[in-house]
Amino acid sequence: VTLHLNPISSVHIHQKPLVFLLNSPLPLVWKLKTERLVPGIRRVFFVSLGSVVQFEKGNFSLSAETEEKFFPEKNEQLLQWAQKEYGAVTSFTELKISRNIYIKVGE
């Protein structure tokens, strides 16, 4: 699955930390494609067991962290866990089948 990350239209270049929980019932290869995200900013990708994140060429991967995590099985439990762990959830998306996921990041 390719994860496309771009800033929202009102933000020319995104330069804040981000945390992603990438959960799947089956192990996946998450391919990351980014545009206009400043390198060197902490970005964390938690993936379900057996999954990996592949970064594009460039130095984005130098400041990104990937960690396998056992997530709660149900989405409600996952959302509650994320809120407890991070204090807020700004976006939650559930997809049954997809090859590409487009996420706008920003304020």
Would you state the pLDDT for residue 60?
72
pLDDT tens digits for 13-70? 899 999 999 999 999 999 999 989 888 899 999 999 999 999 887 667 778 899 999 9
Q: Note the pTM of the prediction, 2 decimals.
A: 0.90
Residue holding tokens 């945390």?
Answer: 19
Would you state the pLDDT for residue 59?
65
Q: Is the pLDDT of residue 76 over 90?
A: yes
Q: Is the pLDDT of residue 73 over 90?
A: no
Would you state the pLDDT for residue 39?
84
CB 58: neighbour CB atoms within 10 A?
9
Would you state the pLDDT for residue 56?
82
CA-to-CA distance for 77 and 62, rounded, in angstroms? 31
CA angle 92, 48, 75 (to 5 degrees): 35
**Residue 107: band (very low, low, confident or very high) from pLDDT cuts 50, 70, 90:** low
Residue 41 buriedness (CB in 10 A; 0-12 / 13-18 / 19+): middle
